[in-house]
């Protein structure tokens, strides 16, 4: 749309210049023809150049016709002029002879009118001498300039109309051509939202190789994810069964409490590591999860777990707020962080959420506990790093949360809450 008017404008200027050049050339040829016509009827008599009283071109005989002529003698005096010439209204350029045989252009304005003409100096032989006579023919350019203006108006009207039509056609063609890509983008968005599992086959042949490859990729991703989850389930089953047998034997013999604690620890480590590995198996399908109901379920369960603390939960989340994450992943992240807030807080936890823009939201989990130092906050999300070594745990909960967040292009920041405790700020996809 930008280039087309530029090209058409350049074409218009080129055509206008060519037409103007053609008019000027035709004008010069016509003036030269009038000079030749005057030369054809001029006669030398006793050293004077005589022309007929009436010329064949009626414009020379009509006053103010726009075509004028005169003849200058050897001394530069006007020896003849056409009846159309009124000296009181029209002033010729200064009378002077030029080079014989060479036509010189005349161009000037008088009383707001543009005039153009030719001057030709000629030599006539008389009694062995050369007498010099100069012919001047001029005309008003009003008619030519009016014709040029009409041409320019028609030219710009036609080219402007053509530009509008071509831009409309370009817009229509672009819209029609890009519709399959728009349709493809909408289908991919539906796949990301979990509304569909593959792309349709209603595409033109130019885009069909792309959609076919994308469908193959989606099927491969789904199959690979299923195989990986099955492998994880098999690993969990193969490890948990021997550990259950060992734990049962230890319970019966009651021989070694330390060994029993280590078996329990191994069970916990296996559970956590399987959750962490499963967090890496991120699918591109995401139906989204309603945030407030999930938080309410978590807090209702934690009220029972921390009954002795008489937990108070302050939930500030809009009912229609939706997070673009799988429910299990979101449950793992929020469950871990809210559980830590209950564990280290003093009976009060606030969970709030706000939309930051169209595609993301921020969730804050705050407590009134001792808080986390700025130095520790930089390392607490690393695997095996714990803020408190007096309670049971493997120090991988926050690391798992960060792994899940990174798979959704989210992040976690740790600061201080308004109540003086810790504050966890999560950036999640909306």
Residue 390 is predicted with a pLDDT of: 39
Work out the average pLDDT over 42-58.
88
The backbone region for 118, taken as left when phi is positive above 0, alpha when psi lies in -120 to 50, beta otherwise, is beta
Strands of the sheet with 104-110, listed across from one edge: 78-81, 67-72, 129-140, 113-126, 104-110
**pLDDT exceeds cutoff 60 at 323:** yes
Q: At what angle do helices 3-41 and 142-192 cross, to 10 degrees?
A: 170
At 407 the pLDDT is 77
More confident residue, 240 or 374: 374
CA distances from 186 to 96, 193, 200, 287, 289 (A): 83, 11, 11, 15, 21
Tell me the whole-structure pTM to 2 decimals. 0.48
| Report for 75-79, 119-123, 213-217, 356-360: range of highest mean pLDDT | 119-123
Q: What is the pLDDT of residue 391?
A: 44
pLDDT at 84 over 80: yes
In this predicted structure, the answer to whether residue 276 has a pLDDT above a threshold of 90 is: no
pLDDT at 135: 94
Average pLDDT over residues 371-398: 59
- Edge-to-edge order in the sheet of strand 360-367: 312-316, 348-357, 360-367, 422-429, 411-416
Distances (CA, A) of 305 to 96, 302, 336, 369, 407: 118, 5, 14, 18, 30
């Amino acid at each position: 749309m930008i280039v087309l008017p530029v090209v058409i404008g350049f074409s218009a200027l080129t055509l206008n210049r060519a037409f103007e050049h053609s008019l000027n050339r035709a004008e010069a040829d016509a003036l030269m023809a009038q000079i030749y016509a005057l030369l054809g009827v001029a006669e030398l008599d006793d050293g004077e150049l005589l022309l007929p009283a009436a010329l064949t071109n009626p414009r020379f005989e009509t006053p103010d016709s726009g075509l004028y002529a005169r003849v200058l003698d050897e001394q530069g005096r006007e020896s003849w002029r056409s009846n159309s010439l009124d000296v009181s209204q029209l002033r010729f350029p200064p009378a002077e002879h030029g080079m014989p045989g060479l036509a010189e252009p005349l161009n000037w304005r008088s009383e707001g009118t543009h005039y153009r003409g030719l001057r030709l100096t000629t030599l006539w032989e008389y009694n062995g001498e050369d007498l010099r006579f100069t012919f001047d023919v001029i005309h008003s350019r009003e008619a030519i300039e009016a014709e040029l203006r009409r041409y320019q108006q028609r030219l710009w009207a036609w080219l402007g109309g053509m530009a509008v039509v071509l831009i409309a056609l370009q817009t229509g063609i672009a819209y029609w051509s890009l519709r399959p890509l728009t349709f493809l983008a909408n289908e991919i968005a539906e796949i990301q939202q979990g509304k569909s599992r593959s792309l349709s086959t209603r595409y033109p042949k130019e885009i069909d190789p792309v959609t076919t490859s994308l469908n193959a990729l989606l099927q491969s991703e789904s199959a690979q994810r299923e195989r990986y989850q099955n492998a994880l389930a098999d690993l969990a089953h193969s490890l948990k069964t021997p550990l259950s047998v060992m734990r049962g034997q230890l319970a019966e013999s009651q021989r070694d409490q330390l060994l029993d604690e280590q078996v329990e620890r191994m069970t916990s480590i296996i559970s956590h590591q399987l959750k962490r590995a499963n967090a890496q198996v991120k699918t591109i399908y995401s139906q989204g999860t309603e945030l407030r109901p999930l938080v309410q379920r978590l807090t209702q369960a934690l009220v029972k777990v921390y009954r002795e603390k008489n937990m108070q939960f302050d939930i500030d989340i809009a009912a229609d707020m939706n997070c673009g994450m799988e429910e299990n992943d979101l449950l793992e992240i929020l469950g871990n962080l809210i559980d830590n807030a209950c564990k280290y807080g003093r009976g009060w936890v606030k969970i709030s959420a706000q939309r930051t823009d169209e595609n993301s939201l921020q969730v804050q989990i705050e407590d009134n506990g001792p808080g986390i130092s700025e130095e520790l906050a930089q390392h607490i999300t690393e695997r095996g790093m714990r803020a408190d070594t007096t309670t049971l745990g493997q120090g991988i909960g926050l690391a798992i949360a960060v792994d899940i967040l990174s798979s959704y292009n989210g992040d976690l920041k740790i600061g201080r809450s308004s109540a003086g405790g810790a504050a966890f700020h999560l950036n999640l996809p909306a």
